[in-house]
Amino acid sequence: MKNNNNKFDENDEKLIEMIGNMSNVLADNGEEDTDMLDILLDSDNDSFITMFDENNSQIKFQQVATIPFNENVYAILKPIDYLEGVEDDEALVFKIIQELNGSSLELENDKRTCQTIFDKYYELITDPENN
């Protein structure tokens, strides 16, 4: 889900379908064996996250934040490449799924969870103790 001034767009279902079909997520850090969770939790990481759709087209994302919530970890990612239905000032929330063979990203499609993740992010960036 995306956030633009705390509003959700009516094209969310189309976006969920398109992003839900993306696979083969990797980071542009030159290290093929690095787990996605390690990359997302690395505070020094400035690599783009690249996802591939069913046509093997790539879309690059910039990591905005990693937010723990309800025993899960979420990543807020902003598309670098054009992504239909996502404006330039919007970002998406992905749940980090930990599996035996590594971690993967899944677009979060629960609007309340997404709003909570964005709210937690806004708290982090506006709280003077975190700066």
The 10s digit of each residue's pLDDT in 76-120 is 999 898 877 888 888 999 998 887 877 778 889 898 999 999 999
pLDDT digits (tens, 9 = 90+) for 4-28: 444 445 455 555 555 554 544 555 5
* Per-domain residue ranges of the chain: 2-130
- 67 dihedral zone (left: phi>0; alpha: psi -120 to 50; beta): beta
What are the beta bridge partners of residue 102? 99
Q: How many residues does the chain have?
A: 131
